[in-house]
Structure formats: structure tokens, C-alpha cells
Structure 1
Amino acid sequence: MSLPPGFLDELRNRVPISRVIGRKVVWDLRKSNQAKGDWWAPCPFHQEKSASFHCDDQKGFYYCFGCHAKGDALTFLKEADGLEFIEAVKVLAAEAGMQMPEPDPRARERSDRRSRLFEVTEAACRWFRLQLQTGAAAEARDYLARRGLDQAAEERFEIGFAPDQRYALGQALREKGFDEGLIVEAGISARPEGGGQVYDRFRGRIIFPIRDGQGRCIGFGGRAMDPNARAKYLNSPETPLFDKGRNLYHMGPARSAVAKGKALIVAEGYMDVIALARAGFDGAVAPLGTAITEDQLRLMWRISPEPIIALDGDAAGQRAAQRLIDLALPMTGPGQALRFVILPAGQDPDDLIKASGAAAMGALLDRARPLVDLLWSREIEGQVFDSPERKAALDKRLADAIGRIPDEATRRHYDRELGQKKWALFGGGGRRPGKPGQGGRKPGAARVVAMDSSLPGEDLLEGASLLICALRPELIAAVEGRIERLTPRDENRAALLFDLLSHSDSPAGQRGLETLRADAHLGLTPSVISSQDADAVAAILNNLLDRLEAQRAAGAELARAEAEIQGEADEGLTWRMQQIARARHRAERPELESSGDLNEDRDALSAQLSGWLSEEIWRKPPRR
């Protein structure tokens, strides 16, 4: 439908955006300035307690500083209520008291025909509901009772029954005055390919009505009562109302539940959704008999920024998860994430809730895994990484996968997360490592061999570096590659390093941390490692690592030089020794410059750290 120039501008000017949005949010009046049309509220598009959602009546726009949702009043109506553009325009026009422009005759004709198709599907829904109460539906009622559905559940989900009769529904609808062509177009009846009388598409099946986001019946799903039926589930065909790849079962109620703080849970089938909703998980939806499509993913993200995909614990559920990884990666980014729950083998949500209760399902949902975990599991499952070529192949597969992510920041975080997983996997020489002290190699053993001798100050520099990383874990990402190369000879320090890089918390790592705290030269540590400016702390950390790397490089070069000396040193060897000295000097900050004496070096470093560290804050456990 085309709109005349200026119509939308007039529409937006007449209705303050805060009036449209105010029906969905509770304004924070302490933060808002009503006189200036400046409004703040918790965002209706993602779960939060703070008021990060800003609405500006003067500009006519909203923006969320948390999930970055933005737009005008029409955008809000489309995103919050799932309306099509022209439907949002009609809602806003009614609010403004403006008359909608008359559409062209063909557009009006199409709109009228859709309205009649909706009348057909609603009439069929009522007919199916009535049939469930007849004698012919006794077996269907028994089946529903065995599945734990009472009459209240049947009414809530409008469950019906299609008797095993070839013409019953079509005849009933024609008697109500519906045209046979409309009945066929709505997908209720079908024409034989060779011609002849149209017949009912759904026969001998329990019927589940499928409604769109506005609650209108767009089609049906039917479960066969005959165990020998060719298709256990049958959905409506593609019609002007029904596109199975662009809709979700139970979408309207789920969207309302998510707006009230519930999680959006994507199950596999109708009965799973019904079981979840009856157990209190009202934000449950399901695709319509197919694998999840791109359009369905976008629809989910319009409802919630982080849907939970709850898949059956069978082989089909595992395959569905693998397909979804490849579908979602090119679409994922801030505000568009997925989490996964893989149910116990042989169980679907309905089975689990019946066997173990809603609490068991809730516990699984609380432990839902991010998409990056599923990607990692897929790429290493059944693999042995006992050669450089196999490790390189894994690197390539992972790089190809995350290279499809369009958002640069998300790509970077995926790369970092997968890097940590690879470090944990390969840190033990190509097999999954145990934690230090439990039979596995120490972190970094596959990458770096520690030197037999340590130059003065190495132990101090290493300890201070680990200490800062433990207190300020947010700094680790920037120096991850450098601290991976640390090779602590002390087992507890090695365990602490492993914990820092793998986000774990082992007793040995805690012992390493406590040892560093008790060190006489590090005990003066940061009053401000936990509160000082991050750039200042990062500068100290990088300087410590610079010095440590320079000392170790110098030690290695000295060892090689000693082996090369044959008689008197030549000019080349002399030049290399000069370069060693210069490299080490560049790594030394003037205020930390070593005098060559271990005690003086320790005192200089302690003095530098103690200027901004406090014993009280230092004694608190590190944030993780």
C-alpha cells in the first residue's frame, strides 16, 4: 500500500513516541524529565533492572544503551507487537485520529480476501474443537489424558480433532456459506490431482491451531492417531496466510511472557511447547515441522536477544543443533545470540518434566551453553590432535567458521574464547590436560621449555605479573599470548596460570595465589590493582612482561653464545652481546631499572607497586 507524501511525518508529529512506548514500559520518573519529553525506563526488549532505554519526544526516537535497539514509533510497534509495517501505520493512525488513505482497488481486494481466509480458518478451528467432544474422538481424548492434558489444557491451547472422514469439514464449512475456492485456498481442503470432489486435508488427527503474532489462526498442525499413518505430523500447506518457515507455534503468548521477564525457549514440537508452558515456562515456541530457518531466527531475536534452543537428546536433536550453528553464525552479534540446552538422551522436554519435574527443566535451562561452546564441541568431537597438521586443520575449521560472523567485536571475542579452549586442549601436548598436580602437564608445556637457570629478578617479575592478572582478570585478554608463554616451575603458580587462562578455580591455583600474597616483596601490592585506572595497571603489567621476556631472551642468547665461543670472541659475537644489552635496557623503565643486585631490584619494583597498592583491598579475593 502506497502512502501519500508527508502522511508518515504528520502521523509521527501527532503522537508523542512516549505515549506509544509507555504502554509497554514503566518510566523511571527520577531519571526522566517529563517537561522536556526526555524519558528513561528498563528496556522492553531485553531483561534488565536499570533504566538504560531512552525515549526522546522531541526527536521522536528511542534508543537502548544496553541492547542497542533503536527506531521510531512505527519501529517500536513492529518490534514490540510483531506488526507488519502497514498494520503499525494503522495502529498509529487510529491513535492520532487520522484517516488512513484509501488503497488502490486491487490492494483492497487482496486485503478483503485475506480477511475472508481468516474467517475460514477460525470457523475450521471451532469445528475441530467441537469434534473433540464427540464419541468419534474418544481415543483422541484418551491419548491426551495419557499425555497429562486435562480439559483446561485442551481449552488453553484450543486442541481439536479431525474425524477420519473424507468430506465432513468441507461440507460443514460450505453449509456455513463459505466458498469452496476459499476453503481450498486456506489449506483446509485439497483438490485431487485428477479432478473430482475436494476432500478434507486433516483426517483422523488431533489438531493444534497455529496462530500468528496477532492471535489470528493461520493454519493447523495435526498428529495422526493411526500409528501406521504415512506422516505422524501434518501441517497446513503454504497459503496466503501460512508460511511455515516464517512463523512459530505459540508465538503470541510467548512474546507476552518474554516481555514480563520469561526466557524464550525454542523446543521441537507442539507437545513440548505445551508441556513447557504448563510447567511455567510460558515463553516456549516451536518451529513448524521443519528445521529452524533464517526468518524464524530473526523472528526469535525480535522477541528476545538470547533465545534458548532446547533440543531433544537423540541423534536428530544433535543434528539439528549442528545445522543451527552454521545457520546462526553469519547472523549472530550484539543482541542476537543463542544458548543451547541438550536434553538427556532419549528425552524431550515433555518427558523430562513428567519424569523429574519443572525444577529439573529449570536447572538445565540455567546451565544453557553459548553458541561458541557448541561450535567447539562439534569441531573436536571424535578427533585426536596428535600432530601439527591435525591441529592446523582445527585452526582452519574454526577460523572459517568465525570468519562468517559479520560483527567485528563478536568475531574478536569468539577468537579469544576459542583460543583459550585450544590452549587448554593443547597445553598438555595434544590431549585434554588434567589440572596441574592431577596427572596432566603444566600449562604451556607443549609450547615452551623452561630454561634451567633463571636470571636475577625473573621469579619476582613472574610473580608480580601473575598477581596483577589474578586481581584484574579483564586485562588478561590483551596480554593472553604473552602470559601463555610463562612457564612457572612452581606447581601452584602453574596451576594459578592455568586457572587464569581457562576461567577455572582449582585448590592448587588458590594456593599459588596465597603464596604470592604472602611474599614479602609482593605483600605491599596494589591498593589499587582492584580500583586504579585500568590503563595504569595495564602499563605496569606490560612493563613487567617486557622485562621478563628480555631477561629470558638474554639468558637464552648467552647460553648459545657460550656454546659458540671458540677461543677469542669475534666481532659478530661481540655485536650480538651488545644487542642483548640494548634489548634488555629498552625493556627497563627508568624507575624500575635494575642495579644488577637482586635485593635492590626487588626493592625498586616493590616501591613502584606499593605507591598504588593497598593491603586491605589486596587481601580481598580476586574478582573472576
Structure 2
Amino acid sequence: MALDPAFLEELRARTPIASVIGRRTKLTRSGRNWKACCPFHGEKTPSFYVYDDHFHCFGCGAHGDVISFVMQSEGRSFPEAVAELAGEAGLEVPRPGPAQRQAEQRSKTLSDVLEAVQAAWTRRLHAPEGRAGLAYLRGRGLADETIAAFGLGWSGDGRGGVLAELQAQGIAPHLVAEAGLMRLDEDGRPKGELFFNRVTFPIRDRRGALVSFGGRILGDGQPKYLNGPETALFSKRRTLFGLDRARAAVRTVRPRGTPPVELVVVEGYMDVIALHQGGFPGAVAPLGTALTAEQMEALWQVSAAPILCFDGDAAGRRAAVKAAETGLPLLDLNRTLRFCALPEGEDPDSLLRRQGAGAVATLLDGARPVGEVLFDLLTEGVRDPGPEQRAALRRRLTEAAALIGDKGLAAEYRSTLLDRFFETFRRRPGQGGQGGKPWGKGAGAAPRPVRIMERPPLDAQATMHERMRILTAILLRHPHLLPEVEDAYCRLDLPAGLARVRAGLMDMAAAGDLPDAGALAAGLDAAGLRDEREAVLATQPLPLSLSAPDSLMDVEIGQEWWHFYALLNVRQFGEDIRADTERLCTGTLDERAWNSLRTRLLAWEALRRGEIDPDGG
């Protein structure tokens, strides 16, 4: 809903933000402002501050004005929050134009149709014709109170009885079709009921308004589950079954010492209903499809870290990967995802009935952050990868991290994934440079000495490889530089020999504190990389940092490394510096980030002044 900016400014001016926030948490004076314990995350020391026109939490990062506070604290949409505040301020929300009013009137008419159908179907469930449906629901362990609370019903046999009842109320077939409850012929005319011989599940939006239905057939008919089609009221990709009830449960203030209600995404109608009945009222489900970006946005309006609960089989793992790929671009510092996997062969409903609520609670308590589970999902089935598989897997991990829109968060995910990669798949001493047993003739023999980086002719590819050799040589001589340049170094597509040295270097870094140059050399030699290491350092010429290591400051060594890195792609290096400079200037000054940027800026200036020959290496 688009509103006049002037109206919104007047609304904010007439609504003291401190009085609105004070309803949810106790405020105390802090100079001219107010402070409190944050209502969005548990804390004992106040870090939530309220100013004249906005709030900010220095603990969790929550931030916004009075409208966004109502949206975040009560789970309301923007129009709902505006309407609530306007009513309290004595303002009238501007009325929409004629076309929007007509659409709203149409939606109201369709809502009335759905409510009439719902009343007819709930009556039929308890009539003789619905006996089989009621027996099915009770057989699944649902109490009559639960059946009534969720408004479950029986659709009838599809022979016109429901339509006749609706027509007696003045509801024409074309309205029933517009509401998504009838099939249409080739000319778009209603020709028969969509739902028949099915147990019915009312689908409501997050406000609790009825928007469509789902149905489950009894017996072996197909499809087993059926949802209504897209209508003026119903969008499948934006709707989650049970969200209205879950939102209310999550937002309800709990008694002290009572654990919070978790927002949990499961797969189907019956899972949601069974969990609600079993004491887990935060359960919701998509409508027969993979989670969409719109549904995730709806989840985050209720909880900053919802739990996605998938089956423990191959299909469940695929669903988890798909959900992670959908969610990664949407993550930021204030919202994330958690994952848990069910025991194979179980769904939430069956687990609850067989093992009880304690088993479900334990499962949810063990939900893992997406940053932890992502590595396991992306490396599923990988056991002892060779060089090609390692390279492909490493690329997949970095590409997954790059999906995250927040660059700082993306960098943290990338570092975490690569740390897990090198820790999990690092070579062990005695494996040689191949990460496994020798293959083919000569198995068991010592690896042949390899001179991998003799001085090449100055063609483009050879020059590029020579610069990569120099970058590797600097790190072998000054391994303490690795944390500053690791991301850039791992992005390089190194030739095979250098790639083996890099993998060994990263393996040692992942094992703990970086050693000095001597210990690093001994570790690489023990891993079967002596020939490759010596080849990197033996070829001349080498930069100043290798010929006079003790006379240089760390910043000069780093600057020299970035010199040679820049020469691999001058344009991209300049664009990276420009982007990082803008990001640093618009954000909070970070000393570590500034030191890293300063070193690269020095290298960039030296390159621009011509102190390094771009063609000579």
C-alpha cells in the first residue's frame, strides 16, 4: 500500500516513540535519551537506546523508527502498523483510489464465499457423509478440540450438494470459481467442484483471514494433497500454513523461566497440526513446494532465526540444500536460519506419536546455524577427493558464500567454510602431493623430483604463473602474512605445483597457529612437498622481501605481496579497492580493515606511479 510521505511524517511526529516502546520494555533515562534491555534478544545489561525519532540496539543491531518497531515487535505488516498507530494518533489513513477500492470490495466478496464454504464443510465432517474423514483425523491422533481449532472439514462427494447450499445463500457458481473452488472448462466457465471426497484444511494468511483450502483424499487417489489455485486472495509462494497461529504464539509473552516458542518450518498440514497439539505452537509449513524467498521474508518478520526441519533422507537433504541456496542471499546480521534433520523414516507427526514431545524438543534444541550445516550439505558424500575434486569443492563453497548480499557477512562465511574445508580434507604426512595413494606404475616408490617453475619465456600465461610463484614464495618466507591475504590468495587459479604448495600451507594454517618459515618448511617437507617447495624458492629473481627479510616492516612485506597480486588483474584489483574504500567510509571504522586497505592502497599507488613494470613481473 503506497501512502503519502507527508502523512507518514505527520504520523511519526504525532507518535512519541518512547511511549510506544515503553509498552514493551521498561525504559530508563540516559541523558536526553532512553535505554532498556533489548526486547528483541535476551540480555541483562541494557544496550537498547531510544532517541527522538528512532531506536538502535548495540547488541543485536535492531534499528528503525516507530513504525518499524511495531512491525518487528508485533509481527505486523507495514499497512497494519500504520493503521494501528494512526488510530492511536487520531489520524485517518488516506483512502485508496477507485480501482483499489473496487479490488478490495472484490476481495471482501471472495472472503465471504470462502467463509460460507468453510461453514458448509465443517458441518459435513460431523454429518454421516463425513464419517470416513472424521475417522481418519482421529486415527491420526487428533483430538476433537484440535480438529475444531483448525477448522478441519469434509468437502462432500462433489455432486453439487455444496453448490446448491451456496446458491441458496445467493452465491453464484462464478464467484465460487473465482475463489478457487471450482474447475473451469476451456471457455473459462465453472464445470465442477475442485475439492471432493477430501478432508479439508483452511489456509489462512498471517492475519488469520481465510484465503484458500487444501485437501487430502482418502484412499489411493491422486494427487494425495491438493491446494487451491492462485486467486485474488491467495498466493502460494507468499503463504505458510499455520503462520497466523504460530505468529501469535511466538509473540505471546511467556512466564519467567519458560522457554520461548520456536518458529519451526515442517513439510505438511498434518505435521503442523500435530506439533501444535503436542505443545509446539510455532510450527508452519509451505504449501507443497520448496520454501520461497517471500516465505522466508514472512518467517523473519516473526523470528530472527526460524528452524527449518527436514526429513533425514536424500529428499530431505535436497530440500535443505535448496532452502539454504534460497536463504543465503537474504541473510544479514539480524536474521539467519537454523536447520535440524529428522531421523530417517520419521516425520514430525510420527516422531511425536512414537517417542513423545521430549524427542521433538531435543531435536529442536539441537538445531544448528546455517553456517555450520552448510558445509555438511555441500560436501555430502565427499570422502577422499583428488586435486580436481578438491578444487571444484572449494569453488562451490566460495560461490555459496558469495551468494550472501552483506559483504562482511559473506567474507565471514567464506572464511568459515574454507577453514572447515582445509581441516576436513587436508593431506596427512606421507600422502605426498596427491592427497592419496599413488596410482599406476611405480606405486609405493618415492615421488620423482619435479622442477615446476623454471624461468619461463615472457608470454602472457608464463608471466602470470611467475607472479603466482612469487606470491607463494613470499608467503613461504613470511607465513604470518597469510591471514591478511588468505581470501585473495585462495581465489587464484594456481598451476598444479603451486596449488599443492598452497593446499599444504592452508592445511598447516587450519591446524593451529601459523609457524615460522623454518617450521613451515619442515611441515611441508613432512607432507611430501619438499620438491615443490624448493622449486618455488629456487628460481630467480625473487623480490626484496626474500633477499632481505629482516630489514622490512610487515607493511612493506604486505605491500610487496599486493604489488604482485595486483599485476595479475590490475582492473579488478582497482575495483576491489574502490568498493572496499566506499564500504569502509560508509560503515563503522574498523582498525583491522583499515590496515588491510591501507597496505593495498600503497601497492596501488606504487603501481600507478610506475614503480613496478606491469609487463616485466
TM over 0.5: yes
Specify the alignment match of 1:74 in structure 2: 67
Report the Cα distance in structure 1 between the residues aligned to 2:209 and 2:429, rounded to whole angstroms. 56
Aligned 1:414-493 pairs, distance under 5 A: 414-429=413-428
SS in 2 for 1:6: helix
- Whole-Å separation in 2 of the counterparts to 1:476 and 1:278: 57
Structure 1 distance, partners of 2:59, 2:159, is 55
320 and 195 in structure 1: CA distance in 2 versus 1, 3 angstrom threshold: closer
Tell me which residue corresponds to 2:262: 263
Specify the SS of the correspondent of 1:202.
Answer: coil
Match of residue 229, structure 1, among 199, 206, 221: 221
What CA deviation, in whole Å up to 9, does each residue of 1:456-484 have, x standing for no partner?
Answer: xxxxxxxxxxxxxxxxxxx9995998xxx
Aligned residue identity for 1:277: H
CA 1:554–1:77: 2 relative to 1, 3 Å = closer
The equivalent residue for 1:18 is 18
Question: What secondary structure, in the 3-state scheme, does the structure 1 residue paired with 2:411 have?
Answer: helix
- 1:240 matches 2:239: no
What root-mean-square deviation, in Å, do the aligned CA atoms of Structure 1 and Structure 2 show? 3.8
- How do 1:23-102 residues align onto structure 2 when only pairs under 5 Å count? 23=23, 25-27=24-26, 29=27, 31-32=28-29, 38-44=34-40, 46=41, 48=43, 50-56=45-51, 58-59=52-53, 61-102=54-95
Contact kept in structure 2, 1:42 and 1:53, CA below 8 Å: yes
Structure 2 unaligned spans of 5+: 254-259, 432-479, 487-506, 526-537, 555-617
Shift of the 321–180 alpha-carbon distance from structure 1 to 2, 3 Å rule, reads same
1:385 alignment counterpart: 384
Displacement of 1:309 in angstroms is 0.6
TM-score, normalised to structure 1's length? 0.67
- Report the counterpart of residue 241 of structure 2 in structure 1: 249
Q: How many residues align?
A: 467
Change (3 A) 1:499 1:94: farther
Q: Structure 2: which amino acid aligns with 1:424?
A: E
The 3-state SS of whatever aligns with 1:190 is: strand
8 Å contact 1:170–1:188 — kept in the other structure? Answer: no
State yes or no: 1:357 paired with 2:356.
yes
Report the more deviating stretch, 11-20 or 200-209.
11-20
Matches of 1:555 and 1:312 in 2, distance apart? 43
- In the alignment, is the contact (CA less than 8 A) between 2:110 and 2:179 conserved in 1? yes
Cα offset, 1:147, TM superposition: 0.8
Matches within 5 A, 1:489-568: 548-549=516-517
DSSP 3-state at the match of 2:148: helix
Equivalent residue number for residue 326 of structure 2: 327
> Could you report, residue by residue, the CA deviation over 1:93-148 in whole angstroms, capped at 9, with x for unpaired residues?
21111233343222222222212222222222222211111111111111111111
Change (3 A) 1:2 1:408: closer
Stretches of structure 1 that go unaligned for 5 or more consecutive residues are 433-474, 482-497, 504-540, 558-571, 589-624
For normalisation by structure 2, the TM-score amounts to 0.68
Give distance in 2, aligned partners of 1:202 and 1:103: 35
Q: Alpha carbons of 1:288 and 1:580: their partners in 2 closer, same or farther (altered >3 Å)? A: closer
Give the letter aligned to residue 237 of structure 1.
P
Question: Which residue number in structure 2 is paired with residue 272 of structure 1?
Answer: 271
Q: Does the Cα contact within 8 Å between 2:180 and 2:212 map onto a contact in 1? A: yes
Query: For the Cα contact (< 8 Å) 1:81–1:213, is it kept in 2?
Result: no
Deviations along 1:31-52, whole A, 9 cap, x unmatched? 445x9562524323x4555544
User: Identity over the aligned pairs, expressed in percent?
Assistant: 37
Q: Say whether the 8 Å CA contact 1:325–1:374 is kept in structure 2.
A: no
8 Å Cα contact 1:387/1:430 also seen in 2: no
Conserved? CA contact 2:184–2:192, under 8 Å: yes
SS of the counterpart of 2:301?
Answer: helix
Name which of 145, 149, 167 aligns with 1:152: 145
Question: Aligned residue for 2:472?
Answer: none
Aligned AA for 2:39?
C
Moved more, 130-139 or 180-189: 180-189
1:220-268, Cα deviation, whole Å (9 max, x unpaired): 111111x232211111110111101001111122122223431111000
**What amino acid does structure 2 have at the position aligned with 1:100?**
V
The answer on 1:368 being equivalent to 2:364 is no
Equivalence for 1:172: 165
Deviation at 1:420, TM superposition (A): 2.6
Deviations 1:499-543 (A, max 9, x none): 99679xxxxxxxxxxxxxxxxxxxxxxxxxxxxxxxxxxxxx99x
CA distance in 2, matches of 1:53, 1:580: 51
Aligned residues of 1:170 and 1:189 also touching (Cα < 8 A): no
Change (3 A) 1:176 1:52: farther
Alpha-carbon separation, structure 1, partners of 2:21 and 2:214: 35
Which residues in structure 2 correspond to 1:404-415 (within 5 Å)?
404-415=403-414
2:272–2:285 contact (8 Å) kept in structure 1: yes
Q: Match of 2:195, as an amino acid? A: F
